[in-house]
Amino acid sequence: MTETFKSGFVAIVGRPNVGKSTLLNQILGRKIAITSNKPQTTRNRILGIHNFTGGQAMFVDTPGIHKPKGKLNRYMVDQAIRACNDVDLVLFLVEANDKPGGGDEFILKLLEKAGTPVCLVINKIDMVDPPSLLQLIDAYAKRFQFKEVVPICAENGDGVPQLLQAIEPYLPQGPQYYPDDVLTDQPERFIVAEMIREKVMRRTNEEIPYGVAVQVESFEEKPEKNLVVIQATIHVERDSHKKIIVGKGGQMIRTLGQDARREIERFLGTRVFLELFVRVDKDWSQSERMLRELGYE
């Protein structure tokens, strides 16, 4: 049995907003990666571990690949590009209701250089009819030698079992890297910070979502009370952004706190007391020092 155990790494890459993080959550059956309808929600690479009979697949969710503007964006794109070189298989995710475009071309060139086997995953098939799906597959197949093509709906899970089947042959023989009950390589504190950031991203607009970072300051477990006490700071780049996030009479920050607390409670499986602070750090996303401090090294 152990002799034929398969284990390998699979990167999920694609343009911003195509559903990479949604797919990772769907594969794991748990939410560990935050998602939103705004591009560039994901900033770090996140490993999700999927166990199956006779094997283990480590999925690497990555920030969307795009033309980077600014230091934070460059960091994000580097994370994604590096992931393509370090894995056994790449899932190249595209949207069914989109056409192959310049952004894809840039990614395909990178993949050609990396030489890693690539599976084309067409997401959001709930938004198109079968004939246009076939046309899209045709257009992509002309451009690149994909090992497999799998249409899915990451949101409701259609096609995901087929996708998991399709990747198995590309996983090499190897050891079980993580125990059965480990879901991700990210610490709980990181996921908690991300869940708070997601609520801010979802409830704010324009430049605010991109100028927000969240840091968990303290994380205190009180098992006798089935409670975790968390203090976190939301960093913003402008006084005006702070004003919006706090809201009239503190209404916005209360709502954000409630949203985040509910999700963190589900994730940790305990009651949570969450205290949020908002701090202005002018142009943190352009400062090497602040980026490091906030975990974007």
Residue ranges binding ligand GDP (CB under 6 A): 16-22, 35-37, 41-42, 64, 123-124, 126-127, 153-155
Contact indicator for 7, 174 with CB cutoff of 8 Å? yes
Q: Which of 15, 18, 19, 21 binds Mg ion (CB under 5 A)?
A: 21
Q: Measured from the CB of residue 293, what is the shortest distance to Mg ion in angstroms?
A: 23
Could you count the other beta carbons within 10 Å of the beta carbon of residue 276? 21
Residue 260 CB, nearest approach to ligand GDP (Å): 17
Residue type, 189: R
Rg (CA), the chain: 20
Which C-beta is closer to Mg ion: that of 25 or that of 215?
25
Q: Tell me which residue has tokens 């995710």.
A: 93
Which residue lies nearer to ligand GDP by CB, 38 or 71? 38
Give Cβ neighbours of residue 129 (< 8 Å, ≥ 6 apart).
Answer: none
By a kind-dependent CB cut-off of 5 to 8 A, residue 22 interacts, out of Mg ion, ligand GDP, none, with: ligand GDP
Kindly tell me which of 184 and 233 has the beta carbon lying closer to ligand GDP.
Answer: 184
**Could you say whether residue 204 binds Mg ion (CB under 5 A)?**
no
Sequence letter at residue 127: M
CB 268 within 8 A of CB 225: no
Q: Which two tokens stand for residue 159?
A: 């096609």
- DSSP letter at 173? B
Q: Which is nearer to ligand GDP, 25 or 56 (CB)?
A: 25
Residue 77 vs 272, nearer CB to ligand GDP: 77
Residue 17: name its binding partner from ligand GDP, Mg ion, none (Cβ under 5 to 8 Å by kind).
Answer: ligand GDP
184 binds, among ligand GDP, Mg ion, none (CB under 5 to 8 A by kind): none
Find how far residue 139's CA is from the centre of its chain: 27
**Collapsed DSSP state (helix, strand, coil) of residue 264:** helix
Distance from C-alpha of 120 to C-alpha of 151, rounded to nearest angstrom: 8
**Footprint (CB under 5 A) of Mg ion, residues 33-92:** 42
Q: How far is the CB of 48 from Mg ion (least distance, A)?
A: 12
Cα separation, 228 vs 33, in Å, equals 21
**What does the binding site for Mg ion look like in residue numbers (CB under 5 A)?**
20-21, 42
